[in-house]
Amino acid sequence: MVEQTPQPSPAPVVESRRRQDWTFFLVAVGLLLLLNFVASRYFFRIDLTEDKRYTISDQTKALLGNLREPVQVTVYLEGEFPAGFRRLQNSIRETLEEFRLYSDGRVQYQFVDPNANTNEQARNQFYTQLAQKGLQPTNLFAQEGDKKVEKIVFPGALISAGTKETAATLLKGSQAAAPEERLNQSIEGLEYELASAIRKVASASAGRIGVVQGHGELWLPQAADFLGTLSEYYTVNRVELAQVPDLNNFNLVVLMKPTQPFSELDKYKMDQFLMRGGKLLFLLDGVRASLDSISEQGALAFPYDLNLQDMLFRYGVRVNPDLVQDLNSSFIPMVTGYMGNQPQTQLVPWRYYPLITNFSNLPLTRNLDAVQTKFVSSLDTVKAVGIKKSPLLWTSQYSRKRESPVSISLNDPRVDRDPRLFKENAIPVGYLLEGKFQSVFRNRPVPEGATIPFQAQGKASQVVVFSDGDLAANDVDPRSGRPLELGFDRYTRARFANKELLKNVADYLLDEKGLIELRGKEIKLRPLDKAKLREERTKWQAINLGLPLVLLLSFGVVKFWLRKRKYAR
């Protein structure tokens, strides 16, 4: 009789496996808890997108990390929107969520639907309140079923901290661009717009600006809106060069459309201010011209003699004594006939008011809407050792220069219609100069009465020159005498980007934290090929619906086969 070897009991094996499973489970839970603890103490994110669209800049992180009080952001872009606006809405939400995390919760946000109130009167009153606070409405046309519906949206936000509140417009970009491109430009600028608004309500003044007076420059009310905008971010003071020994109390000095010559001593003070690292912004007219002084018989426009050309020449640029005309221009009202004794007025294009739509890709001019100029001159660059010269603005491809003295008549719109007269392309009207400038008083005697020690070679600094003093001039309401918004044309009711341009320039020249660099952020559009989409729609629908089912079925069959094989032994 063959003796059988006793088989081991399965109980210890089962117990061992159960112990291993519990050990694995407890270790996994412990690792998850440890990972969660570390993640809560040390915040980090990884952006795997090619254009780094979800990466917050170091400048913004520093701003958010130094907030001393809570900031509330209320976005009025809630509701059902077409795909493009939903993309903007989602991008705003994602950016604000990043802000909340990097600010350690000091930035809080909410989305509000301004159309939620069903009472029409209350809703219109709410619209008015938002407009008074600086949020401009936009008409949005959407397709709902078979109907085309018009909705009023407020693509902006109100940002508040303590007693301060400001409005941020989040739908930016050039109106000449296609709707998808404009929305993309808006998304590119979201971080800058929101961070700039937060800095405005949560930070102290970041710089001191001196606005030169005493030479017939712009002041109140003609420059009220520009000066008021600067005052929201910086400390702005009027300065008469003849009354101060130097400009050391300022970080930026602005000249807005001077009409009288500068003395050598005044030039010396500005020159030495630049040599010591100060920044200069020139808004200069090359020719004396004004619409109010022109009649149908015409008038002659002569060059200004401001005694600044030698200084600008040494810095690397020259304002030419000419006027630029452009077929891409704004309009002025003109009497075109009479009905009985009543004059008939019509808006006609005025070629001496070029609309600038060509900009450099630098952060201070990127994605701007059109800028309105009035009696603008051309700029040329000249040799200046060590100075980098970057053009900022150009006219269109249908432009021309008229050398002074220029004969200007209100009948010109009836004559200047032939495109063949406008042969010049892209005439520059704005320049950024950067580097270590040489003093205009090098190899020249220091003016009598100067108390500033002479410095021939400057520290690294920047100068911006525009050949149009009216860039900073707002219209004034003829009835109330109140200044209108800078860039608002009271004849066409259009809004131009003059204020945004000049604010960007001031931010660029003064912003030590570098927030203006955020305007250089670029997010690439990757649209689908619509023709190919129509041709291959059925194929890709079948793949998207059928492939997951095939994979799931295959997984089930393989799992069933392995299980059957295992227990068949």
Say what the pTM is: 0.79
Write phi, then psi, for 198 (nearest 5 degrees).
-65, -40
Look at residue 25 in the predicted model and tell me its pLDDT: 81
Identity at 118, one-letter amino acid code: T
Q: Which residues contact 164 (CB under 8 A, 6 or more apart)?
A: 200, 201, 202
How does pLDDT run across 206-232, given as a tens digit for each residue? 799 999 999 999 999 999 999 999 998
C-alpha distances (whole Å) from 119 to each of 116, 124, 127, 140, 344 are 9, 9, 12, 20, 43
Characterize the bridge pairing of strands 138-144 and 322-326: unpaired
More confident residue, 43 or 214: 214
Write down the domain spans for the chain: 58-202, 208-520
**Domain 208-520 in CATH 1.10.260:** no
Write phi, then psi, for 435 (nearest 5 degrees).
145, -165
The radius of gyration of the chain from alpha carbons, rounded to an integer in Å, stands at: 32
More confident residue, 411 or 455: 455
8 A C-beta contact, residue 43 and residue 80: no
Asked if the model's pLDDT at residue 322 lies above 80, the reply is yes
Look at residue 120 in the predicted model and tell me its pLDDT: 86
In angstroms, the CA 566 to CA 560 distance is: 10
Residue bearing tokens 């994602």: 94
More confident residue, 157 or 57: 157
Query: pLDDT tier at 242 (50, 70, 90 boundaries)?
Result: very high
Q: Which residues pair with 329 in a beta bridge?
A: 354
In terms of C-beta density within 10 A (0-12 exposed, 13-18 middle, 19 or more buried), how is residue 41 classed?
A: exposed
What is the CB neighbour count within 10 angstroms for residue 103? 21
Asked if the model's pLDDT at residue 1 lies above 80, the reply is no
| Least confident piece of the model among 40-54, 155-169, 316-330 | 40-54
Q: What is the mean pLDDT of residues 425-441?
A: 97
Query: pLDDT tier at 424 (50, 70, 90 boundaries)?
Result: very high
Residue 405, preceding bond cis, omega within 30 degrees? yes
Q: Looking at the domain that runs over 58-202, which CATH code has it been given?
A: 3.40.30
Average pLDDT, the chain: 87
| Least confident piece of the model among 41-50, 198-207, 321-330 | 41-50
What does the H/E/C string look like for 41-73? HCCCCCCCCCCCCCCCCHHHHHHHHCCCCCEEE
Query: pLDDT tier at 538 (50, 70, 90 boundaries)?
Result: confident
What is the CB neighbour count within 10 angstroms for residue 565? 9
H or E element at residue 88: helix 83-102
Query: pLDDT tier at 50 (50, 70, 90 boundaries)?
Result: low
H or E element at residue 245: none
How does pLDDT run across 360-411, given as a tens digit for each residue? 999 899 889 999 999 999 999 999 999 999 999 999 999 999 999 999 988 8
Asked if the model's pLDDT at residue 3 lies above 60, the reply is no
Asked if the model's pLDDT at residue 5 lies above 60, the reply is no
More confident residue, 205 or 471: 471
Look at residue 36 in the predicted model and tell me its pLDDT: 78
8-state DSSP, 261: P
Look at residue 257 in the predicted model and tell me its pLDDT: 97
Burial 9-32 (b: 16+ CB within 10 A, else e): eeeeeeeeeeeeeeeeeeeeeeee
Residue bearing tokens 């009023």: 152
Asked if the model's pLDDT at residue 48 lies above 60, the reply is no
In angstroms, the CA 404 to CA 425 distance is: 20
Look at residue 418 in the predicted model and tell me its pLDDT: 75
Q: What tokens appear for 549 in the block?
A: 């089912």
8 A C-beta contact, residue 87 and residue 180: no
Query: pLDDT tier at 471 (50, 70, 90 boundaries)?
Result: very high
Q: What is the mean pLDDT of residues 528-552?
A: 77
Task: Provide the edge-to-edge strand list for the sheet that holds 457-466.
Answer: 235-240, 208-213, 252-256, 279-283, 457-466, 428-438, 387-394, 358-359
pLDDT cut 90: percent of the chain above it:
54
Query: pLDDT tier at 298 (50, 70, 90 boundaries)?
Result: confident
Look at residue 337 in the predicted model and tell me its pLDDT: 77
Look at residue 359 in the predicted model and tell me its pLDDT: 96
Q: What tokens appear for 369 in the block?
A: 């809407």
Q: What is the mean pLDDT of residues 62-84?
A: 89
Closest among 474, 414, 13 to 227, alpha carbons compared: 474
Asked if the model's pLDDT at residue 188 lies above 90, the reply is no
